[in-house]
Amino acid sequence: MSIETAKGLTKASRDILLRRFVPDDVKEIRMDICRVCPSWEHRSNRCTECGCQMRVKTSLTSSQCPLGKWGTHLNLRDAGIDTAEHEEGSE
Ligand code: SF4
């Protein structure tokens, strides 16, 4: 197992324990990208690049595609970033 794989598994475990899941629309966008990717193994629903089960991987906040086709979905408020000026209706 590579160091990158071990790091990814650690982050995934933390997301599951802390119940940090992405919104359904983000998961669907990720799955749509994976479904047309040559690295997606249809029968097992796994990525041949990382070996992950994609229905689980696409639902986790810290997950990212190993080929950079989609990235992490971090909650800006949880990261301590002020999002007030970007919210709808605020001036
Ligand atoms: S995670 Fe990336 S490389 Fe793997 S199947 Fe999805 S888009 Fe393809």
Sorted by where each begins, the domain ranges of the chain are 3-73
**pTM summary value:** 0.76
Q: Looking at residues 64-87, what average pLDDT do you find?
A: 68
**pLDDT value of residue 69:** 94
Q: Which of 37, 41, 52, 64 to mutate to test the pocket of ligand 1 (most atoms within 8 A of CB)?
A: 37
Question: Would you say residue 80 has pLDDT above 70?
Answer: no
For atom 6 of ligand 1, the residue with the nearest CA is 34
Residue 59 one-letter amino acid: S
Q: State pLDDT tens for residues 6-26.
A: 887 888 889 999 999 999 999
Residues in the chain: 91
Element (H, E) at 39: none
